[in-house]
Amino acid sequence: MVKLTEQQKQAIAEAIETAEKNTSGELVAVLAQSSDDYLYIPVLWASLLSLALPGIFILGELLIDPVRIYQYQVGSFILLALMFQWFPIKMSLIPPIVKRQRAALRARDEFLTLGLHNTSHRGGIMIFVSVAEHYVEILTDQSVSEKIPDQEWEQLVARFIDCIRQGDFATGYLETIKSSGEIMANHFPPGAGDNNELTNQLIEV
């Protein structure tokens, strides 16, 4: 779990407000503690390991009553399923590709849910962080992706990940918001009648 202080959240909101003064784009910051409950993971691993018990007994040439083997299987399944519910263990059992896929899907769901694809200038940008998966992504709307190459955002993501490794999520957001605003200002300068269409507050999901 990552908990930002109210002062850090306010600093993020002010950074977004400052960045948006120099661009017609809309920036949104999202923080997810996890992109999925992964409820099936403890059960799946507990089942696989419990089913392997008879094979272990056979390989070890252990003569055990079948009823006793069944009891061992049931007991081990319950014990392992409970133990694997502990979040650090559960996350370590999930393949990295699965975590990336879940986080990427959650990011896109949030992008649509928050309406970043419906801004007046189609200039929505979302800085998405999912803590459990150590995942960072910057999603942009159509007009932005047409003018700004992905490589520019990837550099910001790499820097944000460095901040996460140091446990400094607030600095990661502040630096990324500032740099994103500068990139957007070069391609999407502010225009007459620009309104703040989306919240500047950090969105926690």
Q: Are 114 and 198 in contact (CB under 8 A)?
A: yes
Mean pLDDT of 114-126: 83
* pLDDT for 58: 62
Q: Residue 194 — pLDDT band, cuts 50, 70, 90? A: low
* pLDDT for 137: 96
Q: How much of the chain, in percent, has pLDDT values that exceed 70? A: 93
Helix, strand, or coil (residue 27):
strand
pLDDT, one tens digit per residue, over 64-109 is 667 777 787 888 888 888 888 888 898 988 999 999 999 999 999 9
Conformational region of residue 194, where left means phi above 0, alpha means psi within -120 to 50, and beta covers everything else:
beta
Residues 6+ apart with CB under 8 A from 73: 50, 51, 53, 54
* pLDDT for 139: 94
DSSP 30-49: EEES-S---THHHHHHHHHH
- The overall average pLDDT reported for the chain is 87
Q: Are 37 and 111 in contact (CB under 8 A)?
A: no
Mean pLDDT of 186-203: 81
In the predicted structure, residue 167 carries a pLDDT above the cut 70: yes
* pLDDT for 18: 93
Token reading at 195: 């309104």
Q: Residue 13 — pLDDT band, cuts 50, 70, 90? A: very high
* pLDDT for 192: 63
Q: How much of the chain, in percent, has pLDDT values that exceed 90? A: 44
pTM of the full predicted structure?
A: 0.84
